[in-house]
Amino acid sequence: MAEPAQRDDAERLALDIRDLHKTVAVGFRRRKVEILKGVSLGVRRGDVFGLLGPNGAGKTTTVKVALGLMRPTSGEARLGVDSLGDVGYLPENPYFYDYLTGREFLDLCARLFSLAAATRVERIESSLHDVGLDDAGAVQLRKYSKGMLQRIGIAQALINDPSLVLLDEPMTGLDPIGRVEVKEIIRRLGERGKTVLFNSHILSDVAALCGHIAIMRGGIIIWQGSVDEALAGRDGDLESFFVDKVTS
């Protein structure tokens, strides 16, 4: 297993997770289930990082704990940013006020970051353009397709021009054109020096976009390293590498 980023260069980490455990109570009898079993993960600033794993591996829980949306049972997660105002986040199952138009929704999100009026207008229009929704900004969200809602969700994650962007399954529900547009957004974020961490089951997209990946299974990291290392000798086939790791 490849080693995580060295802890002596913590100042270069946009996300620093150390020995993270999370136990929850489930069911009528409140049975204790350990979701995270000692996750350690380092994401360097400016990297596009893929967090992979089968359903139930603990990916979403790891992201939520890192953001402070869930408390860890033990361990710690540190964001290498000045405040949460410098973080963009798309949850796995976002909620939308569907009576708002696309522009109104993005304006609401921008106001939460206390952006000035002129800046809000600029960010709203650029975000709509980036996700291919220029012509849908005046349409109520209840009239959006699933793919359009996914793209407006990505737009809100970028409205504050964050340095760290966390996207939970950003390709979900997108048609091929939408996938290409989202991949280009992530690529451009990386080129601008942003740090991006995203979960995805579309491994060809991960191979094309990411510099480094980590693979989770059963609440632990079973492999972490560079995409080049994972693809060595596999002719670009990240899927076979992934399957080998999670089934071995």
Whole-Å CA distances, 226 to 2, 20, 189? 9, 22, 19
Distance CA 213, CA 73 (A): 25
pLDDT of residue 158: 93
CB atoms within 10 A of CB 15: 27
Q: What is the pLDDT of residue 2?
A: 38
**Per-residue model confidence (pLDDT) at position 9:** 61
Write out the chain's pLDDT in tens, 248 residues.
334 444 446 668 999 999 999 999 888 888 999 999 999 999 999 999 999 999 999 999 999 999 999 999 999 999 998 888 999 999 988 999 999 999 999 999 999 999 999 999 999 999 999 888 999 999 999 999 888 998 999 999 999 999 999 999 998 778 888 888 889 889 999 999 999 999 988 899 999 999 999 999 999 999 999 999 999 988 878 999 999 999 98
d(CA 67, CA 79): 8
pTM: 0.90
Give the residue carrying structure tokens 């997108």: 174
Tell me the domain boundaries of the chain. Answer: 92-162
* Close Cβ partners of 5 (under 8 Å, ≥ 6 residues apart): 12, 13, 42, 43, 44
What pLDDT is stored for residue 83 in this prediction? 85
Assigned token pair, 105? 């929704």
What's the confidence (pLDDT) of residue 10? Answer: 62
Query: Measured between alpha carbons, how far is 62 from 113 in angstroms, rounded to an integer?
Result: 24
pLDDT of 171 reads 87
